[in-house]
Amino acid sequence: SWVHVPMLCFAEQETVTGLFSKDCILPCLFPPGDDEVIYWKKGDKYVHSYYYQTDQLEGQDPDYRHRTHLFHENIPSGNASLKLSNLTLTDEGPYNCYVGTQQTRTEVEVMLHIRVTFILPNVISKDQSLQCYAFLTYSAPRISWVRGNTSIQETGQKETRHGVLYSLRSDQNIINTGEPYYCHIQLPDEEWTAEWKMQGRNKLKSLPASLLNVTAGFRAKLNPVFLVVWTLHRNAAISVLAFFNGTSHSYQPRVQINQSDFSLILNDLTANDSGEYLCNVSTPHYTKLTVRTLEVGKLLLFPFWRWGPQRGTQSQSDSQKSVK
């Protein structure tokens, strides 16, 4: 009599990189067969089990509770890939996928790397200084500054830790508004740059239905993912005037963004519109801040006298016109 021994298949190690707090898929393909038994493990931890054509999660490690998903409709065609949701730093490491059928046994090893990108890189302009932030990075970030074409030292720094994550703030005093300032944030696999520039000063009178173009001066080839935000800084208060992200926008009354060059259009200027206008154009790896100061003065109206006959008198030509 013949004894059937399932064929054992090994696949080369797969490498997957997932983003912190996002979802990823760990691949595992096998020759289609009958009565599939699927085990996903990470070391001694049971990540996900499947047999009798249903999930078997009684022995699942608590770290993976409600975060794993098999694509049941694809299992008969040989796909035992696992979706892992809400990635954490402790998810990093090697995973083993075992699939047994009546015909074959397959083992696949998947190495998962977790990458923590800048969750919120930012640069803030305030009180003649710049603050450059790298929030919640996996590796210690490196922040450097350039003024014009010259490298300069930061004037202050503050580092905080959130478990294994870093947050770093670097300060820079603005001593020459005629030159642009650049903040560079570097990580092993990620870079981000911010540019700050004082564009100039506008002095205008308040006229009905007047238009002011405060140009952003940003005509680079934009990443498909971008955001333009205009804010007004006046008397220590910041007001968001408008934003545009390529598909949607939001404008305050009398304000709109020219979508071709990201300039700001202000209608019906008044003296209350005076202040410092900041344009923030951001892509995933670059931010440009452009500052323009606006001064709106008052339009002086002078009395106008018409030289001619006094009230109660009438010129000859007027008399002729009235008699018709």
**CATH number of 280's domain:** 2.60.40.10
**What tokens does 173 get?**
């005093």
Do 203 and 287 belong to one domain? yes
**pLDDT for 1:** 41
Of 168, 188, 208, the position where a domain reaches its end is 188
Q: What is the four-CA torsion angle of 18, 15, 285, 149, rounded to 10 degrees?
A: 140
Do 23 and 53 belong to one domain? yes
Classify 277 as helix, strand or coil: strand
| Enclosing domain of residue 267 | 199-299
Do 52 and 140 belong to one domain? no
CA distance 90 to 76: 31
- Residue 308 lies inside a defined structural domain of this protein: no
Do 102 and 133 belong to one domain? no
Do 123 and 109 belong to one domain? no
- Residue 311 lies inside a defined structural domain of this protein: no
CA distance 80 to 98: 9
**What tokens does 205 get?**
């009178």
Pairing outcome for strands 82-84 and 93-100: unpaired
Do 228 and 282 belong to one domain? yes
Contact 102, 33 (CB under 8 A): yes
Contact 31, 104 (CB under 8 A): yes
Do 165 and 235 belong to one domain? no
Contact 96, 107 (CB under 8 A): yes
**pLDDT for 323:** 33
- Residue 2 lies inside a defined structural domain of this protein: no
Do 175 and 228 belong to one domain? no
Do 100 and 149 belong to one domain? no
- Residue 193 lies inside a defined structural domain of this protein: no
Do 156 and 79 belong to one domain? no
Q: Residue 245: count other Cβ atoms within 10 Å of its Cβ.
A: 13
**pTM of this prediction?**
0.56
CA distance 183 to 229: 19
Of 164, 188, 212, the position where a domain reaches its end is 188
Per-residue tens of pLDDT for the chain, all 324 residues: 444 445 666 666 889 999 888 899 999 999 999 999 999 999 999 999 999 999 999 999 999 999 999 999 999 999 999 999 999 889 999 999 999 999 999 999 999 998 765 545 567 776 688 988 887 777 788 999 999 999 999 999 999 887 777 888 999 999 888 899 999 988 877 788 888 888 766 655 433 333 344 444 444 445 567 888 888 888 878 889 988 888 888 888 888 888 878 888 888 888 888 888 888 888 878 888 888 888 877 544 444 444 444 444 444 444 333 333
Structural domain count, the chain = 3
CA distance 82 to 238: 46
Do 35 and 24 belong to one domain? yes
**pLDDT for 237:** 81
- Residue 320 lies inside a defined structural domain of this protein: no
- Residue 309 lies inside a defined structural domain of this protein: no
CA distance 245 to 280: 12
- Residue 314 lies inside a defined structural domain of this protein: no
**pLDDT for 39:** 98
- Residue 316 lies inside a defined structural domain of this protein: no
Do 40 and 125 belong to one domain? no
**pLDDT for 324:** 34
CA distance 34 to 31: 10
